[in-house]
Amino acid sequence: NAGVTQTPKFRVLKTGQSMTLLCAQDMNHEYMYWYRQDPGMGLRLIHYSVGEGTTAKGEVPDGYNVSRLKKQNFLLGLESAAPSQTSVYFCASSRRLNQPQHFGDGTRLSIL
């Protein structure tokens, strides 16, 4: 039972490079989220989706784009990476709003 799978687990980028983080869930959940975690700041919501084909901005959306073309996948893109985007990125999903989120193991991203 895979749950929520994030790819890749680690990545080092140079400033200005682009990349896509993939989140896949096999639980048929409607809601999916991307968070970033930085020391002392908890998890901050970047973007989220309430169903296939939908996306919405969270607390810190600038510099990121997302897509949810298929219900099971939620992609997070960095078009031009900046050192301020160095962080641990977590994807999460939930069936409904009042049910707990299932989290992936995180992606540690360093931008030099």
Residues that bind other proteins (CB under 8 A): 33, 35, 40-45, 48, 50, 56, 58-59, 88, 90, 92, 94, 97-101, 103, 105-106
Least Å from the CB of residue 38 to other proteins: 10
For residue 106, the Cα-to-chain-centroid distance in whole angstroms is: 9
Least Å from the CB of residue 71 to other proteins: 15
Residue 8 or 16: the one with the smaller Cβ distance to other proteins is 8
Least Å from the CB of residue 107 to other proteins: 11
Q: How would you class 80 by CB atoms within 10 Å of its CB: exposed for 0-12, middle for 13-18, buried for 19 or more?
A: exposed
Q: Which residue has the tokens 């989140």?
A: 23
Residue 42 or 69: the one with the smaller Cβ distance to other proteins is 42
Q: Which residues contact 42 (CB under 8 A, 6 or more apart)?
A: none
φ, ψ (nearest 5 deg) of residue 6: -110, 140
